[in-house]
Amino acid sequence: MSATNGQMSAANGQPTLSIRGLHVAVGDVEILRGLDLDVPCGEVHALMGPNGSGKSTLANALMGHPDYEVTAGSVHFKGQAVLDLETDERARLGLFLAFQYPAEIPGVRVASFLRMALNARRSEEISVMAFRRLLLDKMKMLKMAPRFAERYLNEGFSGGEKKRNEILQLAVLQPDLAILDETDSGLDIDALRIVADGVNTLRASNLGVLVITHYQRLLNYIVPDRVHVLIDGRVVESGGKELVHRLEAEGYERYEDAVSRQEA
């Protein structure tokens, strides 16, 4: 079974994110085993696969998590090699990761955190008043009450509130590529729609999005341009949005069986 990844180009002929032959290990265990993937600017790509296939490993490796060792391959973002960059340098370049399990930071208010993060990306510091206007505008878009910004970051938040806060960060920071790692985890249907509406609104600004998920549910609201199936650390098939429905109906077993036969 051959992997056919999306080769659609950005306006300048170059994908926002280009991954070639990526191998990643955690400890002595190799998780990603030669992954190839392109995500052009302005497109939404979904990466789907069963537990243990390497989806979250990819997300963490792209952001430079120290526990994930890249042993081979290349990653280029906006034409620049990023594997030697620190995590904060990747973020300043325009990479953003919405975590599956966002951390609590007691004592740090949401608004303060977001202003610090935004200033870290800017050449000039944004004023308090300008930031306040920006924040309130983004919160209105996401249907979030203004008092939410005064709460301590993720402290006492429900699962849905944590995910809404991740999308608020995305809206404020305006990266070039957002990696959404299991963003639908823990969301009720109303929160899911709000998060999806926020992503779809930002999508119009030429934002590239890599949605990492197990299920069709989120992709009913964030309709992908391309879908990639990840099995045993490799992309084994890519296609249009119709591939989501086939996966929902058939599951991953046939892909897993095919990989097992190849390795036998």
Give domain status of residue 26, yes or no: yes
Give domain status of residue 125, yes or no: no
Per-residue pLDDT tens for 63-83? 999 999 999 999 999 999 999
Predicted TM-score (pTM) of this structure: 0.86
Interatomic CA distance for residues 54 and 64, integer angstroms: 15
Interatomic CA distance for residues 169 and 117, integer angstroms: 9
Give domain status of residue 200, yes or no: yes
Give domain status of residue 131, yes or no: no
Query: Does residue 149 contact residue 135 with C-beta atoms inside 8 Å?
Result: yes
CATH number of the CATH domain containing 217: 3.40.50.300
Give domain status of residue 153, yes or no: no
Domain count, the chain: 1
Interatomic CA distance for residues 236 and 229, integer angstroms: 6
Interatomic CA distance for residues 58 and 70, integer angstroms: 10
Give domain status of residue 142, yes or no: no
Give domain status of residue 6, yes or no: no
Would you state the structure tokens that stand for residue 97, as one six-digit string?
Answer: 């990761």
Strands (DSSP E) contained in the chain are: 17-26, 29-39, 44-48, 69-77, 80-81, 95-98, 105-109, 152-153, 177-181, 208-213, 226-231, 234-239
Give domain status of residue 108, yes or no: no
233 is in which domain, residue-wise?
17-99+158-263
Regions of the chain where pLDDT drops below 70? 1-15, 100, 186, 264
